[in-house]
Amino acid sequence: MTAEPYRVMTVCTGNICRSPMAEVVLRDRLEAAGLGDRVVVDSTGVSDEEHGNPVDPRARRVLAAHGYPTGEGHRARQVTPEDLADHDLVLPMTAQHARRLRRLVTGAGDGGRPGATAEIRMYRSFDPAAPVVERDVDEHLLDVDDPWYGDQDGFETTLAEVEAAADGVVAHVRARLEARV
């Protein structure tokens, strides 16, 4: 009998820059850690404004320049309450995204469904160099920079922030998988 895969979802605004970049990096790191066959990673956005669009070309260029797959075939989609119920770990890129996701879980607006099971944790909370945040009100200190309005350098910054937290996410997922046994 094959165990259910551990499911991770990264979340940003439109699902064309930050969250697909994090999805690609996490898949790469999980594969390198020997967990690729036990973990499923995908991504969504809190908005439907980019629905159906591919990964931003600037994000694809940065991923390729650093040796990652470029997210070909990705199409942006909006997170649903069902996504939160179907994932083990949900990683918002900003405090605003985290608030929206928590509202979906509790059913307070956005058509949410009480009882969803996903652990919602700020992506950068896994970066050992990031500030330690103990209260939700301070979560904005962990926001991953939004490269959308800037130039190519902004995508480099975003990738660096994503990479800095990726090994911490992998360690967390490994611990969760070991606890299942």
Residue-by-residue pLDDT tens, the chain, 181 positions: 468 999 999 999 999 999 999 999 999 999 999 999 999 999 999 999 999 999 999 999 999 999 999 989 999 999 999 999 999 999 999 999 999 999 988 764 444 444 457 899 999 999 999 999 988 889 999 999 999 999 999 999 999 999 999 999 999 999 999 998 7
Q: DSSP state, 69?
A: -
For residues 144 and 166, is the Cβ–Cβ distance under 8 A? no
- Domain 6-180 sits in CATH at 3.40.50.2300
Where exactly are the structural domains of the chain? 6-180
Does the model's pTM come out above 0.95? no
Which position among 17, 18, 56, 145 bears the catalytic label? 18
Active-site residue flag, 27: no
Active-site residue flag, 12: yes
Instruction: Tell me the helix, strand and coil percentages in the chain, rounded to 5.
Output: 45, 10, 45
Which position among 12, 28, 77, 127 bears the catalytic label? 12
Which position among 110, 146, 167, 174 bears the catalytic label? 146
Active-site residue flag, 17: no
